[in-house]
């Protein structure tokens, strides 16, 4: 057998090394090229989305139903621009009487200590008002609901347990809350109309306005707020109301939810002045 020269052996060694290097380079390069996706699959920056599946809607909640903890389904329609009254977005909730009449409204009751006092004062001055009642309070004190209606006052739904965040919850939950409250009211006064709904805290949303209207109730906001829920004293409550009232005003007051003696006492200062300047009457109950 013919022996190879040293030069030939060196050339063969170099050739083998080059072949090995080329093979390694190919393997490395192939690993860097992504495989072709299977039929029906596309790739995207956020991960694969299958062609036969609807791309999931973006939500904030872990259950995919809106902001965490609210159980709210994303609204398929964009909300309209909210109406703003005194810096509060009301989404078209009613904030005036629509006439020159002034309306007093009382929230959060009925309360066995303060509601009877309010009713007695209103009776003394021959004034009717609108009572925005809480469902659990109506259920606990049906006799007071009957007394309100017997004196010719108008009823307003104010949610079951004063849930300020109710407007951010699902429409189904909003509807169930409002219906439960109306049922508690009608358990005491079966034939009394409940023509209005007031959102606790004035925390209006497009959803809660829409649901209250679907249930036949007018969403009711206010014009004058003396912040009597902070118990600032009868003098300050009366002063804020009397200086702020204009024709058509809806006045926000409270007959429950805390110490409301200041509100009761303020009425003795408010009503003589108010009735001398305006016609003061409950909002019309309608036929709902």
Beta-carbon contacts of residue 197 (< 8 Å; ≥ 6 apart): 156, 157, 158, 178, 208, 212, 215, 217, 218, 219, 220
Q: DSSP 3-state assignment of 208?
A: helix
Q: Is 254 a catalytic residue?
A: yes
DSSP code of residue 45: T
Q: Which of 107, 108, 177, 228 is catalytic?
A: 107
Q: Which of 163, 228, 254, 255 is catalytic?
A: 254
Q: Are 256 and 114 in contact (CB under 8 A)?
A: yes
Q: Is 107 a catalytic residue?
A: yes
Residue 22 CB neighbours (<10 A): 10
CA distances from 33 to 30, 38, 51, 128 (A): 5, 15, 23, 80
Residue 152 CB neighbours (<10 A): 14
Parallel, antiparallel or unpaired: strands 41-42 and 103-107: unpaired
Residue 141 CB neighbours (<10 A): 19
Which residues are catalytic, by number?
Answer: 107, 254
């Amino acid at each position: 057998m013919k022996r190879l020269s040293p030069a030939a052996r060196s050339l063969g060694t170099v050739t083998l090394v080059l072949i090995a290097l080329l093979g390694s380079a190919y393997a490395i390069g192939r690993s860097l090229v992504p495989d072709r996706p299977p039929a029906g699959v596309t790739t995207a920056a956020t991960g694969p989305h299958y062609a036969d599946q609807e791309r999931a809607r973006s939500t904030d909640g872990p259950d995919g139903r809106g902001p965490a903890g609210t159980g709210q389904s994303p609204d398929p329609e964009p909300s309209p621009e909210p109406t703003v009254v005194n810096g509060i977005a009301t989404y078209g909730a009613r904030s005036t009487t629509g006439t020159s009449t002034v309306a007093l409204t009382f929230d959060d009751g009925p309360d066995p200590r303060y509601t009877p006092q309010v009713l007695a004062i209103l009776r003394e001055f021959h004034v009717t008002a609108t009572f925005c009642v809480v469902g659990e309070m109506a259920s606990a004190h049906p006799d007071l609901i009957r007394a309100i209606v017997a004196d010719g006052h108008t009823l307003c739904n104010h949610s079951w347990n004063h849930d300020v965040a109710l407007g951010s919850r699902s429409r189904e939950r909003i509807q169930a809350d409002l219906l439960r409250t109306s049922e508690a009211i009608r358990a005491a006064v079966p034939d009394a109309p409940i023509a209005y709904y007031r959102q606790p805290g004035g925390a209006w949303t497009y959803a809660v306005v829409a649901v209250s209207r679907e249930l036949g109730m007018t969403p009711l906001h206010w014009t004058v707020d003396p912040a009597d829920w902070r118990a600032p004293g009868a003098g300050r409550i009366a002063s804020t109301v009397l200086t702020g009232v204009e024709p058509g005003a809806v006045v926000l007051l409270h007959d429950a939810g805390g110490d409301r003696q200041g509100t009761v006492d303020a009425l003795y200062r408010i009503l003589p002045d108010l009735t001398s300047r305006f016609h003061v009457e409950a909002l019309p109950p309608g036929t709902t």
